[in-house]
Chain A
Amino acid sequence: MHFKALCKALVLPCAKRRALTKSAFSDSGTPLKRHLLVSKTLLIMRFMAFLLLGAILQVSAKSNAQSVTLTVKDAPLEQVFRAIRQQTGYSFVYNDRLMKNTKSVTLQVTQAPLDEVLQVCFKNQPLTYAIVDKIIVVKPKETPKLEEAPASPVPPGDIQGFVTSENGPIAGASVVIKRTKEGVSTNGKGEFKISGVNEDDILVISSIGYQNQEVPVKGKKGFVLVTLKIAVNQLDELHVLAYGGMTSRRLSTGSVARVSGEDIAKQPVNNVLQALEGRVAGMSISQTSGIAGADVTFNIRGQNSLSANAYTAAPLVIIDGTVYPGIPINLPSESGTASSLTNGNIGYGSTLYNLNPSDIESIEVLKDADATAIYGARAANGVLLVTTKKGKQGKTKVDINAYSGVALNVRRVELLNTDQYRALRKEAFGNAGVTPDAINAPDLFLWDSTKSTDWQKELAGQVAHTNDANLSMSGGNNGTSFLISGNYHDENTIFIDRRGSSKGGAHFSVTNISTNGRFGVSLTGMVNFTNTTLPVNTFANSAFTLPSNWQPYDTAGNLIWTWNNNNPYALLKQKYSSKTLALTSNLNIRYSILPGLDAKVSIGYTRMDADQHQIQPQQSYSPAYWSFIKGYHYIYSNRYQSLSVEPQLQLVHNIAKGKLDVLAGSTIMKNTDETPFYALASNFSSDAYINNWALAGTFTATTGYNAYQYASFFSRANYNWDNKYILNASFRRDGSSRFGPNHRFGNFGAVAGAWLFSKEKFAQNLGPISFGKLRGSIGWVGSDNVDNYAYFSNYSSYFATYSGASGLIPSRLDNPDFRWESTSKLEGALELGFLKDRILFTAAWFRNRTANQLVGYPVSGQAGFTSYTANLNAAVVENKGWELELNTINVQSKNFRWTTSFNITLPQNKLLKFDGIEKTSYASNLVVGKPLNSIFAVHFTGVDSNGKAQYQDANKNGTIDFYSGLATYGKGDKIYVGKGYANCFGGITNTISYKGFQLDFTFQYTQGLLKKSYLGSTNRPGDMYNLPVKTVQYYRDKGLAKSMITSSFSADWMNYIFYSDAPYEDASFIRLTNAALSYNVGEKVLKASHLAAARVYLQAQNLFVIANYHGFDPESGGVNVPPLLRVVGGIQVSF
């Protein structure tokens, strides 16, 4: 179950309820005088209650074709309730106490309507009932005493009630007397009791995620039944916060972005992160490859750390309250081994690939100090809260969804054909003054000059296929709900060998709230496996660089190695496989100690096992160049486990016109990353034995173990005064085993406030403005993203042996002095709604500053290592910017609805301060006042009369110095030419629905960043590699053909490509990232086929890119497989 739902569930405890039965319905102390008046009033009230009840019953009767078959004799009423529940799926809500005076029931009915059966059951009971949706609320009949009560002015009285919705009873809903602004919350079963209510009072019932409702108490006989409608307004949509907190866009004090499961479901992605692209302001995501399972790196609000390591900058990922490894568990820093097994196609692999996108209810991205500070030291890079789907009270529902489709690379490159290639090679030998022969130029002498193959098409131009299926079952009644689902997904590649990945898993969630609402328990879990089989390296590199007249096999069918000792077809003989199994589980137990005071404990356990194999038989190596290789078989196993226990106390109390919500708790967490073994078996006498390690001539193995402990206290206090002024404060004290004894603990916290000024009197005449809020937050969060044990000196095991013995080597350059990195976050935002909230606009400004940077401080290798962990006290990094969001309902009519959501992020990143930078290694690539990922290069100015490239002598010392450093520091000639991150990025999503049809499409855009074009990712023209036609033409157009098209080493070419600004190009782009068209089958057909819902759809990812960039792909940059065009068709059925 949902953490926060549980929080709410137990708010109103029993002690108060006991009082309720005593006073609310037996008001015996009323003076006789008032009898007449009261009795008149009561008559009216009774009449109204009757009307109301009648209306409710009528409403329920409509949807209530339920019938009951029952034979009981002298059965207790509760037993009859159970029988009815089983037959109809309707649940009963009642107080145990009420059952005490009930009479037994004798009944014999067959196929009788539910209402009739109930009427019979209640006939002689001191009780009456009402049906709300599928819930039968049992309440006491008012006693005759009341009718005879004296007619005196009605004193403030008590009202009992029940709040429900189509999802079942609502726990934690606010019930406030409009006049006094005083209120209470509902308990775990949706019940409440409020005192001090006058006869003319109106109760305002609200709950986050639902539309408010006002209920006059007049005529309600001391009992109200409220059915809240789920908010369709984006302002009131539920947002999940840390530790079960929840808010809505209307009431939030911090910056939280939400992507719903429905938005995710429209995108046929294999990694849920891809579904967030273009949808979350401030979040940048990049796919490193279009292959399933590949690394996807992401950051929230820019790069905070000087070290550009995507993994140390990774946000914290929490799934249903449990920490999930957001970074690959086989990274050396995680696994505790000195090295790791990576794959040329997918890198380390993304752990989030394990998740099944269909299991996700929502993803909340927590950005500012207010939203993140409660996670303290782990929050500096932002937090990703993943909430999985949960079962809902009601009839059991089965949902089936399946799709199938294709993926292909549409960003092809025009490469040289054989004639063009041979001409280029000859030109290159001529320029180098070298005579080509059969050894240094087999391509010119030995290869078939009449053949011309498009290797791009051959090796990496296939159409990949993908299939996906999901089945889920959910439902629940009487305080218990459940969900079980299973999924399967497979996908192959665009490569010649078609190997690929499959994954699947199961997800479950069970929740129970005790009958009295005080005790709640929920267990959620997911088990997911992935099975990926790929070549060890990518075909994509060869696809662009293999000369077109090359051939893979000789006439005898053996691999040919004359292309630089390489033959991509050898990859067919090699195999990389990765199998992972991930379990995430969370157990929540909650007990209501007192009214408004809950104790809870959340226990999270995550485990992920990964087994990787890399098999490279002798036959897959050039027998000339790698003659000594007699087969390799790497086996790398990893096991990640995280166990956390988080006891918490929560107090919800109404003070004056406000509601105070205080949470205090602690976290004890231990993560271990083990490498049970990392082994290399080699020197097999035959490739046939490569799977049998016992037959390896050499077998070396190492193990790894990394443990990380974490202990903290945290607290959060939220005070909401009349939904007008909201104050939120959080504090956390964190202790981490990654720091030395003197630096182990750190304090973090935040304060935030929101003012809903549209609720002020002055704002009532603001014309079209229907909602207005100002909010702001300030806080400090931290980071301990460094290697374990880095503070003390130790040795670690080592792959290599000497004379049969294994040894240890020093692990690192230790440093006992480093401490917490700290980031201060500041945010201010204006949120507006226009035209009854049809237009919603948010402008947020943020500024994050990171100091005491924890970095791998680079040093010259002379220190024994090339870096060590340290704080950079002198440096401060600033990320600031604007995030604007606009959501509009453009058209809304009965059959036609068109909505648009647009977001834009304008980030600014810079090195704010770095005292004495010129004396550090950072002077080679950083300048104070410039962005962290600035591009510094020597400026290319043109060519001289000999066709040699000329450059700007920026430091005016008479020579061009490519290597020494930046002109700013007078060390070299490199100047600032641009930056690697965007001036702005974002997306725009349109949703258009007409009758049963719905069309969604999302454009994603990025503007104002530089990336290297083809030039930077291809080979030297003139070497034995093919090139894009444009690259060669480029050199000629620039007049560089003579100096750069050469068959031997040319510093000219190297400096031009690697140290000058020439290959950089604007990589701005607009991409149609997603388009989805679906049709919902109409009611008539559904009824005829006994279905609850049915939908057919067509979805596509990465449809096209508009860019001026001359490279493989403006997002993935290099030669890797770019994000693929993916088209799928599917069907979804519910019953």
Chain B
Amino acid sequence: MQTNYLYKSLSFSLLLLSVAVLNSCKKFLEPDYKTQVATTDVFASDGNAVAAITGLYANMTTANTNFNGLITEAAGFSSDELKYYQSDVVKDQFQQDSVLPINSQLLSFWNVIYSNIYQCNAIIENAAASTGMSAAYKKQIIGEAKFFRAFGHFYLVNLFGPVPLITSTAKDKTAYAARSTVQDVYTQIKSDLTDAYNTLPADYSVSSSKRIRANKWAAAALLARADLYTSDYVIAEAMASAVLANSSLYSLQSDFSKVFLKSNSESILEFERAISNNTYEGSMFMSYVGYYGWGDHLILPGLVSSFETGDLRATKWIYTASNGSVPYKYKNPSTNIEDYLLLRVAEQYLIRAEARAQQNNISAAQTDINTIRNRAGLANDTTMVDKTTAMAAIENERRHELFCEWGHRWFDLKRWPSLTTTGKTRADDVLGALRTGWKSTAIIYPIPLDALNNNPNLTQNAGY
């Protein structure tokens, strides 16, 4: 009897215990985190949100080289600028117009740029929804995030052609998004840049006068480029003019050796390099030369010989190594006197020249071209008489001012029509003559295989 009673009371207390423990379990099982921060906390105040925008810049600069020279390199190989002196499985594919969908660099561009866009979208969505942040700071970081979302989409659309347009963090909306048209992507780019232009400050007060954060004029400068690429010449001209009108902030640097130094007058936006860190691009081009005397990334002879006699850019921005010529815009492979320039004043003159030429304002275009030529130690242009000759002069000037810089030449060749054949591009003219393996379809890279495999709604570009 006694035993029975004890059993019963024991089972009962066990049951009670179970219920009690179950209830406390629920609390016990709440996630315990310290170094991870709930997204809502990150955007709970202005002070907290600083970490999110810092994280965006840190991710683009320190963490990866895709935004710090690899676009220049790949596009340099694909266009008529660069060749690699040794043999490399990944690099060779760009030089031979045979980029495979499995190319690791290609996947890296895709994944890294989109992960950056995700960061931007996260800032845009969460800052907007935040109740603890000030309106002013929301405006600031949303503006910057939109600038970089546009920046990311700009490079994606130029590298891969029509790409998925990503304006949300929600995986239901993004993971299986199909490719948007090039036009839709540009519409979004322009819309983002216009928002950034309207909300960002007109100076560099956010970064204590260092030109290392996107401001109103960075938005204008990229907007000018996006409009130029989409033939919206009126806005392209207006935006370039708006940037150049700030003569107290921006002017062409007269000393070629200083164009890429930190926060000089030609810089509109740059990625700051950390203490004692060089630019990646500087080391990529100049390391070998510094050590061996020969370079591994060589400028193709055609580009070297195309400079006019007396062009300071040929003498100041090209280094003659034992085995050929090497890009020498960034001069320091190992110290931190230079930052990595994203946008600079010279390009704005060239954008405005082209926009003006396309609007048949040849003389105004010529003025801009002369500004660039004069700085390079060259005499005024005498060839620009109509749109065709103006475009030839502009191409020549863009090729020599912007060589080996952020893929300008590659993108120009792709966006300009062929001078000889309708329906073809300038790339067909130039690269068709340069390389035996050239195919028109090579103007856009293949969609990376991993992306294709993981999103059945994606289609591969023609030719791959």
Contact = CB atoms under 8 A, between A and B. Distances in A.
Interface of A: 336, 439-440, 593-595, 597, 622-628, 630, 649, 664, 666, 668, 672, 675, 683, 697-698, 702-707, 709-711, 713, 735-737, 744, 788-789, 792-811, 813, 815, 858-866, 868, 918-921, 923-924, 963-965, 1020, 1023, 1047-1049, 1051, 1054, 1058
A531 B3 CA distance: 57
Contacts of B174: 862-864
B58 A801 contact: yes
Contacts of B212: 802-803
Given A705-B35, A808-B42, A1048-B92, A800 B61 contact: yes
B307 to A, nearest CB: 24
A41 B371 CA distance: 131
Given A624-B292, A805-B54, A594 B37 contact: no
Interface of B: 3, 6-7, 10, 14, 18, 21-22, 25-26, 28-39, 42, 50-59, 61-63, 85-89, 92-93, 96, 98, 100-102, 107, 110-112, 114-115, 117-119, 121-122, 163-164, 166, 169, 171, 174-177, 207, 210, 212, 272, 274-278, 280, 283, 286-288, 290-292, 294, 323, 333-334, 448-456, 458, 460
A622 B333 CA distance: 13
Contacts of B169: 810, 813, 864
A862 B18 contact: no
A339 to B, nearest CB: 10
B119 A803 contact: no
Contacts of B454: 858-860, 866, 921
Contact of A794 (B7, B37, B290): B37
Greatest chain A CB density within 10 A among B21, B115, B453 is at: B453
Given A705-B33, A1047-B87, 13 more contacts: A440-B85, A624-B292, A795-B36, A796-B36, A798-B58, A801-B62, A803-B57, A803-B212, A807-B57, A808-B42, A811-B36, A859-B171, A864-B117
A860 B455 contact: yes
B37 A802 contact: no
Given A802-B61, A863-B175, A864-B117, A624 B288 contact: yes
Max chain A C-beta neighbours (<10 A), residue from B3, B7, B210, B274: B274
A625 B292 CA distance: 10
Given A624-B291, A705-B36, A862 B451 contact: yes
Contacts of A804: 274-275
Contact of B55 (A625, A795, A920, A1051): A795
Contacts of A813: 169, 171
Contact of A697 (B87, B112, B276, B291): B276
27 contacts: A624-B290, A625-B288, A627-B290, A628-B333, A675-B35, A702-B35, A703-B35, A705-B36, A706-B33, A709-B32, A713-B22, A793-B38, A794-B33, A795-B37, A798-B63, A801-B58, A802-B61, A805-B50, A810-B118, A810-B119, A813-B169, A860-B175, A863-B118, A863-B175, A864-B169, A1049-B96, A1054-B100
A807 B456 contact: no
Contacts of A683: 275-277
A1051 B53 contact: no
Nearest to B449: A963
A316 B451 CA distance: 34
Contacts of A924: 453
Contacts of A863: 114, 118, 166, 171, 174-175
Nearest to A922: B453
Given A705-B33, A802-B58, A805-B54, A963 B101 contact: yes
B217 to A, nearest CB: 19
A349 to B, nearest CB: 23
A807 B52 contact: yes
Given A794-B39, A862-B166, A711 B51 contact: no
B10 A597 contact: yes
A737 B29 contact: yes
B37 A709 contact: no
A567 to B, nearest CB: 14
A703 B207 CA distance: 27
Contacts of B452: 860, 964
A160 B7 CA distance: 26
A920 B453 CA distance: 8
A737 B56 CA distance: 30
Q: Residue among A440, A707, A861 with the most chain B CB within 10 A?
A: A861
Nearest to B115: A864
A737 B32 CA distance: 9
Given A627-B283, A798-B55, A801-B58, A666 B292 contact: no
Contact of B175 (A675, A806, A859): A859
A957 B53 CA distance: 49
Nearest to B90: A1049
A804 B212 CA distance: 12
A789 B114 contact: no
Contacts of B92: 1048-1049
Contacts of A918: 456
B129 to A, nearest CB: 12
Given A815-B171, A862-B166, A800 B283 contact: no
Q: Which of B30, B55, B85, B163 gathers the greatest number of chain A CB atoms within 10 Å?
A: B55
Given A626-B287, A649-B10, A861 B25 contact: no
Contacts of B456: 918-921, 923
Given A859-B171, A861-B450, A628 B287 contact: yes
Contacts of A709: 28-29, 32
